[in-house]
Structure 1
Amino acid sequence: MTATADLYDERGDELQSLALQLESLGGKPRFEGRIRTIRCFEDNGLVKQVLNSPGTGEVLVIDGGSSLQSALMGDLIGAAAVENGWHGVVIFGAVRDRAALGMLPIGVKALGSNPRKSAKTGDGELDSVLTVGSVVFRPGAGIWCDEDGILVER
């Protein structure tokens, strides 16, 4: 994978750069793929459903409303994502099982962690356009994540 700094130097304004700083919590600090999205709030039912389905080379971007009150993903859902071919997950919210997630061969970026479980009703929106800060995450667009940050195709 090309480093995000080099990719930005090559493509410039074709890419959006996320200013928000996320923690790298998965076993792969560098990952890329096509975007899928979920919007949910303190409920990971839809997250579990999606990451338990094929995601060949895709990156799931979850707008959890920036809530750190409960985790939207843990080690079991992370392991399912690996088994189903997902390259990574970007969560504007919390995860749990940080140590175990760090051992999995998948990229995970999140605001932080909380051991508290979330609701599991499945409330949320799948594959809608998300805006976080000034960055627009469109399903199907390219995303690149590494130690420097996150770049997204316009």
Structure 2
Amino acid sequence: MRNVIVTDIERADLDRIDALAGYGVATVHEALGRTGYLGPGLRPAWPGARTGGNAVTVLSWPGDNLMIHVAVEQCREGDILVVTTTSPSTDGMFGELFATALRHRGVRGVVINAGVRDVAELRAMGFPAWSAAVSAQGTVKATPGAVNVPITIGGQLVRPGDTIVADDDGVLVCPRQDLERGIEASAARAAKEAATREAFEKGELGLDRYGLRERLPELGLTYVTAREYDGGR
């Protein structure tokens, strides 16, 4: 690993990021072909948080938040700090003081593949945070890592400047070059879901709307009466 701080990353326009984030993680994930989801292990520190932004990435050693301090200087309005560690960690590497510093710079939230703490304060501040754990365990500030280099979380590659979308369903990364495609595909997905919702409200069944009924015999499924199931008793 090179111990570097990359200072001049490219970012997407915030109005385009907001357009994508408005559809939510689940819709965008489906629209992008079920890619980009960082996994169920990242959960919001408090319910109802929802945001999107440009990724500023951090690679830290476990139990060491030195590189988060370094990364704060690289953050701008509309960014989301995305942190992972060189090996698994659940230590509380991020809390209220970091959130205060980042909010001053217009940062929209943090995604950390480790622990957060000061959850009550984060909720009161309204600062969105997604993490792999909540832990009061403190950290040191001793070991160099890297800022704004490609990192991997949940099997997904996150590059600096990629779009991050996060809500109660988790966190998703959309490569910066796929942002416009993601917006277009998400709009189509949302329209399709709206039509389906209206159909369900009128009583239509998913079996019929999705063309599943005719597939049931092919899958070996048959309808029988309760009496037939009980052997005629």
Place the TM-score, normalised by the shorter chain, in its bin: 0.7 to 0.9
Query: Structure 1's 120 and 23: CA in aligned 2 closer, same or farther, altered over 3 A?
Result: same
TM superposition shift of 1:152: 1.0
Cα distance in 2 between the residues matched to 1:123 and 1:141: 23
Query: Structure 1's 104 and 28: CA in aligned 2 closer, same or farther, altered over 3 A?
Result: farther
Amino acid of the structure 1 residue aligned with 2:114: G
**Identity fraction in percent:** 25
Partner of 1:56: 77
Aligned residues of 1:52 and 1:80 also touching (Cα < 8 A): no
Partner of 2:89: 67
Partner of 1:25: 45
CA-atom RMSD in angstroms: 2.1
Amino acid of the structure 1 residue aligned with 2:138: K
CA deviation profile, 1:49-89 (whole Å, cap 9, x unmatched): 32255421011110023301x32111111111111110111
TM superposition shift of 1:122: 5.2
| TM-score, length basis structure 2 | 0.59
- Size of the aligned set, in residue pairs, is 152
Partner of 2:59: 39
Cα distance in 2 between the residues matched to 1:116 and 1:100: 16
Amino acid of the structure 2 residue aligned with 1:37: T
Cα distance in 2 between the residues matched to 1:89 and 1:2: 20
Secondary structure at the counterpart of residue 72 of structure 1? strand
Secondary structure at the counterpart of residue 38 of structure 1? strand
Q: Out of 117, 125, 135, which is 2:146 matched to?
A: 125
Bigger drift between 40-49 and 18-27 goes to: 18-27
TM superposition shift of 1:25: 1.3
Amino acid of the structure 2 residue aligned with 1:18: L
Bigger drift between 84-93 and 59-68 goes to: 59-68
Amino acid of the structure 2 residue aligned with 1:67: S
Query: Structure 1's 23 and 119: CA in aligned 2 closer, same or farther, altered over 3 A?
Result: same
TM superposition shift of 1:5: 2.2
More strand per residue: 1
Greater relative contact order (CA < 8 Å, ≥ 6 in sequence)? 1
Aligned residues of 1:43 and 1:121 also touching (Cα < 8 A): yes
CA deviation profile, 1:25-68 (whole Å, cap 9, x unmatched): 15861111111111102111221232255421011110023301
Query: Structure 1's 128 and 28: CA in aligned 2 closer, same or farther, altered over 3 A?
Result: farther
Unaligned 5+ segments in structure 1 are: none
| TM-score, length basis structure 1 | 0.87
CA deviation profile, 1:75-125 (whole Å, cap 9, x unmatched): 111111111110111000011211111212221001112222211125211
Partner of 1:144: 165
Secondary structure at the counterpart of residue 59 of structure 1? strand
Partner of 2:108: 87
